[in-house]
Structure 1
Amino acid sequence: MKSLKFCSFLLLLCVVKLAEAQKSPFKFGEISTENLEMMKNPLDSSAGALILLDFGKTTFDHNFQIVLEHHIRIKIFNSSEFDRATVKIPYATDDRVERLKAATYNLVNGKIVESKLSKKDIYEEKVNDNVKQKRFSLPDVKEGTIIEYTYQVNYGSWMSLNPWYFQTSVPVLHSEYIVSLPEYFDYKKIMSGYVILSDHDISTKVGHYGSSTFNMTVQKFVAKNVPAFKEEPYMTTKDDYISKIQFELSNINIPGTLTKRYMPYSYEELSKNYAESESFGKKLTKNKFLTDEIERITSDLTDSKAKIEAIYHYVRDNFEVDREVQTESLRKIFNLKKGYPQDINMLLIAMYNEAGFESNAVRLSTRSNGMLHPLYAIASNFNYTICVVKDGENEYLLDPSKKYLPFNTLDKNCLNGRGMVVTAQNFRWVDLYPSTNNKKQVFASLELSEEGSLKGAISLSRVGYEAIEFREDHKKDVDGYKKTFSEAHTTWVINNHEIEGIDIAEEALTEKIDIELDAYAETMGDIIYLTPIFYGRIVNNPLKSPERLYPVNYGTPIEELVTCRIKVPEGYVIDEKPDPLAIGLPNNGGAFIYNVQQIGDYISVTSKFNIKKIEFSAEEYQYLREFYTQVIAKQAEQVVLKKNG
């Protein structure tokens, strides 16, 4: 990051006296015997560490460059958190890390023993061309240790106002952040998460240069007794929900020196900026070199949708993702048949436009990147580009950079709220909803022996995102998948295992498995105890936490259908069987149907599990968790078979 200076402004600036920065209320090395004697985490007895103090202070120096002071103190309870004693401080190549000191504290024979970090044990490492890091490991760390370190980072840019996290993976006793902002810099404050601040104070102080003055806004944020942030299943990214504060630079206005806007006034303005950019929107015009290829692809087609599909399949099947290709030329991408995912999508858009269709780029933030802010048009929050193309009243969202995606289907990571259509006029959003669900069907036809063994065949069909994810994970190594499957089912004898449809993204994917299971059912004289769903049932509740503060987000609807047809031994009949069950979630969020019956010599079992809603609020969490509990209990119930006579 290059150092940014106001040259003409600084020539006039002989001495700058910014408002006296607030000092840390915590002195390095002041460790209490009480904290060293602490044997259990007072906020969470299961946590292996407690952050006693996390203090940060951001100010602007005499060059209006950002300075961060960071002071951290951690109590280690057990060996699971010893890794915290190895510290990495990343920084840009033009930034500076200064005033670094660290120490370890232990209680030995009732006295506090301090072990200081030696400067020779601090290492500077290159992470990549733009980032370095300071790395050190604190000495004498054991159960009961307190570690402490402090440092200062001088950033070479006023853009580097990093987020402050009140939450971490372990509880925090005291988190405090102070930020002092000159009035010339307009930062938008964005707070997220569910932790309630213990204190939030705003004050104004005066900064001086020469005979002029300017205001400094000083804000203090304090959170106490902060619980650990625990990642849960079915969430987008932890950054959407972890408690933090960040400041995004909107504009700079130094009278008579510099005026510059960094954040557009609206998403509509940002969309127009993309559309009129030479490196983005302008690339989608004047691409006549594509005409001959388009004609070859579509010459035998008359239906507009068929042409759209044909062009999509051409790009998806003939272009490879290669992140080493550095070019802004679509012609070069076309000739090389490879490029970044964005470049491959831009090529598809250009082909549609040359073919006479209305097509635009759609900028979005993936699930792993986080949700877009509802108000502030922060360009850096976007991290992915797809294609939208219109066909009369219909429109299709496409991404040809992933070979396992069928037409009009996006990768699950892209299903994150809404995407911004890049256009210079008629601004709009598109909803990033799944065009298909996550569907798995299991059909088992088996025969049960008097000794409790099962023998027969399983047919497993995957459709929609279930098939997409399977292809993504296993297409390159089907044999490896079969081996892993076999190792995970050690009680099975697998006589045959076939997988069909893995090479064709538009088709269902089917597994056919011939199996034998010795002594699967429990026998006791003339009685057999059988759990009829031996494969495809839900064994563990994924929603383990008793409560949840943030939504459950599946990304796609889920449908799981299990049908088992089991031939019982001659002379046996059902003596006891699970009662039928039909339950549903509030607001038509999902349903579960289960039924067991005997038809002639066969037990017929049907289990249908369905999650219809994509997202459930925190208020709906208990209903959803109990729903899983009932499903698991019902699918585990046994059928009791008894021999006649």
Structure 2
Amino acid sequence: MRRLLPLVVLLLPALAAAQDLPIRWGDVTDAERALDAAPDDPDAAAVVLGDVGVAELEYDRYRNDFRYTVRRHRRVKVLRESGYELGEFAYRYHRDNKVRSVKGQTFVPEPDGSMRRVELEGGAVLDGDVGEDLREVRFSMPALTPGAIFEFSYVYESDNIFSPPPWVFQSGEPTLVSEYRFEVPEFFDYMAYTQGGQVEVQPTQGDYRRDWRTTTLRWTAHDVPALREEPFTTTEADYEQKVLLQLRRINPRNQPTRTVLGTWEKVANELDGHNEFGRRLRPGRRVRALAADASGTPGEVARALYDLVRTQYVWNERGGVFAERNLEDVVETKGGTAAELNLLLASLLREAGVAATPVLLSTRGNGRALDLYPLVNQFDWVVVLAEVEGEPPQLLDATDPNRPYGTLPVQALSGAGWLADRDRPEWIDFGAPGGTSTSITVQAEVSPEGGAAGSVRLRLDGYAALDARTRLDEEAAGAPAAAATQAAEAAAEAPDEVEMEVVSVEGAGDPYAPLQMDATFAAPDAGEVVLDEIYLTPALLMRLDENPFERPTRAFPVDFAYPSTRTYVADLALPEGYAVEEVPDLLALTIPSRAVTYRRAVVAQPGRLVVRAVLTVAQAQVSPEEYPALRRLYDEIVAAEGEAVVLTRTAAPPPAAPDEAVTEEAAAGGADTGGADTGGAEAASETGGQR
């Protein structure tokens, strides 16, 4: 008894803490019943009242090994019908793992103030195969109605104790409290990474289980805002409040400590000898022959070999970082995965004497890779760093025949990658050099009925040209004329009522040249006729009709992926007998960092109206602190581009318009090229800042 007493004293605090969970099954409080709105979120359709995960490493005596087990319990209050979505549960997991003990219940409010309990029936829980190695458990909570409270729980088991699933404290609706506990035996040492400013690390708790000591790690988050889908985002996973765990060391009794989580240097060495990575880079006969055919300066050789792979080899639209096949087979079949094509490119460059190193990265949709964890499985793409003496280093990806040297696919613009080099493994930062530009020049006549018709010239560079060339390739085989028109309409952001027909295309086959398309167009609803006036909207094309930033606040950056410039120039001939009553003021708008600017000028001349508008995104990212200013700027752009200019019928026909027009050079010149508004817009920008 004397021996047991200290153990009981040690256990009492831990046992008390285990009972102190934010929510308990079936115990709905009066405060939860009375809740009828989410604090500080009028758009909320539901509120997560509590979300609790209690995880542990359980010992399996039959397997003589540990396994990860988490018991999850979530409770939700439904505020309106759209909140029913949180009651639609679906969870995918590897078939080697298990989901069990699923239960749920809904508390439905009755007219007398009581709540009727409706249980989730076992037959409503579906668990089946959804792929070769995947299973999915799904169910729908019963009897949902506004005011109802539902809760469910389940147990998830996995043999993977090295990287347990992350615990996410956030959902698409506000969360009042979320807590995660992880009980770890003394033999295991885990590294924890928390993301998000609201995750609080709580003091650890000690306990004894069987014949070893355990430590319970604990994290909590309170009043967590909803994480809803937003435009111009990599993936919400990059910004959600969560905790990730990674096994670092195993400390068995009476045995040496075993390090599980190595170093980046160790990973680089292992990759160098990996059969599907480093060993693939060693050239065979076919690779050596291709490399030997390239001639010229090192820069010319690098570009020639890049062009060879991008034009002669077909990407099968699969990513990854490992080459499943030998590069000799890739050469023979002239196609493969992204990893196979890019490792082939690296091997060719090395054989030709150009320094080339694979770079591993996580694509925008896959989520940010963490330099904290030297793990290859967080990457899903590989590109090539080519270093030619006397030139800036270039990142190359040869999976698209329309992509020029030094341009990465948009999904690869994640900002950082890891250099998989045995001698210098390191992280490198990168962006999108050059970005994109779209320039549109319109020459049109406005009819007395309010329509407009004429010609338009589009000039596209960078990613805008790449997108247009891709559209041309996808449709050109069957209907090249229709494909060109579709590409032009997409680039010009033409409204549905505008009809376009492309008459010529230049630069379609040369990704290093601008893509130029000339077309005719007709906009029957350009203006509205009211008695003796025409209310003309001069932004016939490329008009921003609505603000993409709907929500008043944002907790993470706006990510445009790359810099861009959008230039619209229109020279509109007025109907005979009409004159401009009044033109809108010059606009020069920006945000404090000047990362995004908008300039517009409308100039009236005898018999014509000239418009020039330039939207420039100079930086790929805008911070959350500047989001309100960015949202206001786009509100003003929408208002400006939807603003009508009043044309009034005059007593006598206007004098003939002088023979001058806005030139193509003005359209292509971007924000700083001369034109009808240049002086006024520049002056306003330099003195006014934010208008």
> What band does the TM-score fall into relative to the shorter chain?
0.7 to 0.9
Pairwise mapping of residues 233-632 of structure 1 onto structure 2 (< 5 A)?
A: 233-257=231-255, 259-265=257-263, 267-296=264-293, 298=294, 301-322=295-316, 327-394=324-391, 395-472=393-470, 475-477=473-475, 479=482, 482=485, 489-494=495-500, 501-518=507-524, 520-632=526-638
| 2:67 paired residue number | 65
For 1:641 and 1:264, locate their aligned partners in 2 and report how far apart those are by CA, in whole Å: 73
Q: How far has the Cα of 1:620 moved from its partner?
A: 2.5
Distance 1:130 1:22 in 2: 35
Distance in 1 (alpha carbons) for counterparts of 2:592 and 2:175: 36
TM-score by length of 2: 0.82
Distance of 2:98 and 2:359 partners within structure 1:
38
Amino acid at match of 1:78: R
Identify the residue that residue 122 of structure 1 maps to in structure 2: 125
1:88 is displaced (CA, Å) by: 2.4
CA contact under 8 A between 2:583 and 2:604: conserved in structure 1? no
Cα displacement string for residues 225-259 of structure 1 (whole angstroms, at most 9, x for unaligned residues): 22211232222211111111111222222244574
Mapped contact 2:497–2:525 kept (Cα < 8 A): no
What amino acid does structure 1 have at the position aligned with 2:312? N
Which residue does 1:132 correspond to in 2? 135
**Shift in CA distance, 363/414, structure 1 to aligned 2, threshold 3 Å:** same
Question: Aligned partners of 2:152 and 2:309: how far apart in 1?
Answer: 53
The letter of the residue matching 1:362 is: V
| Corresponding residue SS for 2:230 | coil
Change (3 A) 1:259 1:468: farther
143, 146, 151: which one aligns with 1:148: 151
Per-residue deviation, residues 352-381 of structure 1 (Å, max 9, x unmatched): 111121111111122222223244433322
Report if aligned partners of 1:194, 1:242 keep a CA contact under 8 Å in 2.
Answer: no
* Alpha-carbon separation, structure 1, partners of 2:120 and 2:256: 44
- Flag the 1:204–1:629 CA change in 2: closer, same or farther, 3 A: same
Question: Per-residue displacement from partner, 1:520-561 (whole Å, max 9, x unpaired)?
Answer: 223345443322222113232222322222222212111000
- 1:292 match: secondary structure: helix
- Take 1:509 and 1:89, find their aligned partners in 2: how far apart are those partners? 45
Evaluate the alpha carbon distance shift between residue 638 and residue 106 of structure 1 in structure 2; reply closer, same or farther with a 3 A threshold: closer
Closer/same/farther in 2, CA of residues 492 and 412 from structure 1, 3 Å limit: closer
The residue identity in structure 2 corresponding to 1:449 is: S
Q: Is the counterpart of residue 56 in structure 1 residue 59 in structure 2?
A: no
Residue 105 of structure 2 corresponds to 103
Shift of 1:69: 0.5
2:163–2:245 CA contact under 8 A, matched in 1: no
Report the residue type matching 2:433 in the other structure. S
Partner SS state of residue 221, structure 2: strand
Native 8 Å contact 2:77 2:149 kept in 1? yes
C-alpha distance in 2 between matches for 1:626 and 1:439:
23
Higher mean displacement: 450-459 or 31-40: 31-40
1:183 is matched with 186
Aligned-residue offset at 1:99: 2.4
Output the CA distance in 2 between the equivalents of 1:107 and 1:522: 53
Once the two structures are overlaid, the 10-residue window that deviates more, 475-484 or 586-595, is 475-484
Tell me, in whole angstroms, the C-alpha distance in 2 between the residues paired with 1:54 and 1:207: 26
**Aligned pair in 2 of structure 1 residues 58, 605: CA closer, same or farther (>3 Å)?**
same
Q: 2: distance between equivalents of 1:383 and 1:473?
A: 26
- The equivalent residue for 2:655 is none
Q: Is the 8 A contact 1:193 1:240 kept in 2?
A: no
Q: Is the 8 A contact 2:72 2:155 kept in 1?
A: yes
Q: Partner letter of residue 258 of structure 2?
A: K
- Provide the rounded CA distance (Å) in 1 between the counterparts of 2:124 and 2:619: 53
Distance 1:577 1:38, change over 3 A: same
Between the aligned partners of 1:103 and 1:69, the Cα distance in structure 2 is 16
Residue 90 of structure 1 corresponds to which residue in structure 2?
92
Q: Distance in 2 between matches of 1:554 and 1:355?
A: 37
Asked if structure 2 preserves the Cα contact closer than 8 Å seen for 1:560 and 1:609, the reply is yes
SS state at 2:145 partner: coil
The 3-state SS of whatever aligns with 2:222 is: strand
The SS at the match of 2:363 is coil
Q: Give the letter aligned to residue 73 of structure 2.
A: H
* Preserved CA contact (<8 Å) 2:419 2:426: yes
SS in 2 for 1:408: coil
Deviates more, 1:397-406 or 1:569-578: 569-578
Stretches of structure 2 that go unaligned for 5 or more consecutive residues are 1-10, 61-65, 477-481, 652-691
- Cα distance, 1:495–1:134 mapped onto 2, change above 3 Å: closer
CA distance in 1 between partners of 2:349 and 2:131 (Å)? 38
Contact 2:569-2:612 within 8 A present in 1 as well: yes
Q: 1:258 to 1:368 in 2, by over 3 A?
A: farther
What CA deviation, in whole Å up to 9, does each residue of 1:28-81 have, x standing for no partner? Answer: 222346645654445533222222221110111124321100111222233323
Residues 65 and 158 of structure 1 are in contact (CA less than 8 Å); yes or no, is this contact kept in structure 2? yes
Secondary structure of 1:630's counterpart equals: helix
In the TM superposition, residue 600 of structure 1 has moved relative to its aligned partner by: 4.7
In 2, distance between residues paired with 1:236 and 1:643? Answer: 51
* Equivalent residues of 2:502, 2:517 under 8 A apart: no
CA deviations over 1:168-227 (Å, ceiling 9, x no partner): 001112211111122322221111124354x72322334452xxx44x221222222222
Partner of 2:76: 74
Q: Deviations over 1:378-400 (max 9, x none)?
A: 33222210011122132221111
Structure number with greater CO (CA < 8 Å, separation at least 6) is 1
Measured on the aligned residues, the alpha-carbon RMSD in Å equals 2.9
**Structure 1 residue runs without a partner (length 5+):** 1-16
Aligned length: 619
- Other-structure match for 2:216: 218
CA distance in structure 1 between the partners assigned to 2:111 and 2:646 by the alignment = 65
Q: 1:106: how far off? A: 1.5
| Matched letter for residue 298 of structure 2 | S
- Which range moves more in the overlay, 310-319 or 91-100? 91-100
Aligned to 1:627, the other structure's residue is in SS state helix
Residue deviations 1:255-310 (CA, integer Å, cap 9, x gap): 44574333223x344334323433312321243432222334x2xx4233222112
DSSP-derived class of the 1:254 partner: coil
User: Which amino acid letter does the alignment assign opposite residue 66 of structure 1?
Assistant: Y
User: After the TM superposition, which segments of 4 or more aligned residues of structure 1 sit over 6 Å from their partners?
Assistant: 323-326
Q: Which amino acid aligns with 1:562?
A: Y
* SS of corresponding position for 2:59: coil
How far apart in 1 are the matches of 2:617 and 2:162? 43
Partner of 2:205: 203
CA contact (8 A) 1:319 1:337 kept: yes
Give the CA deviation at 1:567: 0.9
Whether the 8 Å contact between 1:43 and 1:171 is mirrored in structure 2 is: no
Greater shift in the superposed pair: 309-318 or 90-99: 90-99
Secondary structure at the aligned position of 1:61 is classed as strand
Question: In the alignment, residue 371 of structure 1 is paired with which amino acid?
Answer: R
Secondary structure of the residue aligned to 2:172 is coil
- Which stretch of the first structure deviates more once superposed, 267-276 or 455-464? 267-276
Which residue is 1:8 aligned to? none
Task: Give the distance between the partners of 1:98 and 1:449, measured in 2 at CA.
Answer: 70
Separation in structure 2 between the aligned mates of residue 238 and residue 521 of structure 1, nearest angstrom:
41
